[in-house]
Amino acid sequence: NAGVTQTPKFQVLKTGQSMTLQCAQDMNHEYMSWYRQDPGMGLRLIHYSVGAGITDQGEVPNGYNVSRSTTEDFPLRLLSAAPSQTSVYFCASSYSRTGGSYGYTFGSGTRLTVV
Amino acid sequence: GDSVTQMEGPVTLSEEAFLTINCTYTATGYPSLFWYVQYPGEGLQLLLKATKADDKGSNKGFEATYRKETTSFHLEKGSVQVSDSAVYFCALGPNTNAGKSTFGDGTTLTVKP
């Protein structure tokens, strides 16, 4: 089925470990974003991309890196995991069309625990 | 910068009650507006959208009208069901001026039988 695929669904890391959260979409969407969701804090934007080769920081980028080498993939790298990065991470993608917007398609999320 | 303010929750209603969740925004230009719904343990799903002033988005009995004069996009449903229990998010964009979206904090709705 077409959509946004995130892997893994669950992950436990030890403090200081690094890992990559994978995100892939097969809808040829230009826009892709990473959000984290914490209780009582809604969704916070980590990084986003408007196309292959172009990325930018959101409101909480520290401790995370991204790259966008293809339209389909937008991996999120945790450089040195900290307990404060325990969260649910969502990847989302959207079309870009002049004169309107189509909203995001979200992945099902990765639940990350850092111990 | 852009921002979205949603009415604080949680909201608890009885089945068949009328629902309103308020949403106001601050933005430059003319953003597209969205409501998303998140069921327990799942990702967000697009519920409805409006791309210009006075547009009404609707889906699954939910409606919201883009009010430019009051910078609002309130979500309404005439008769809620237990299955509508979820978290609802109001959002701006993304649009061609900015590849990112701005979300409200979410409003948790619980519908009791």
Residue B36, CA distances (Å) to B48, B49, B81, B103, B108 in order:
7, 9, 17, 9, 12
Report the number of secondary-structure helices (H) and strands (E) in chain A.
Answer: 0, 11
Q: Do B44 and A92 lie within an 8 Å CB cutoff?
A: yes
Mean pLDDT for chain B? 92
For B61-93, write each residue's pLDDT tens digit: 999 999 999 999 999 999 999 999 999 999 987
**pLDDT value of position B7:** 84
**pLDDT value of position A88:** 96
CB-nearest to A48 from B91, B96, B100 is B100
Contacts of A48 in chain B (CB under 8 A): 99-100
Mean pLDDT of B1-15: 90
How far apart, in whole angstroms, are the C-alpha atoms of residue B109 and residue B20? 10
Residue in chain A closest to B98 (alpha carbons) equals A50
Residue in chain A closest to B1 (alpha carbons) equals A59
Considering only CA atoms, which of A59, A55, A78 is closest in space to residue A68?
A: A55
Min Cα–Cα distance to chain A from B9, Å: 10
Residue ranges, chain A, pLDDT below 70:
1, 97-101
**pLDDT value of position A108:** 94
For A5-28, write each residue's pLDDT tens digit: 999 999 999 999 999 999 999 999
pLDDT band with cut points at 50, 70 and 90 for residue B9: confident
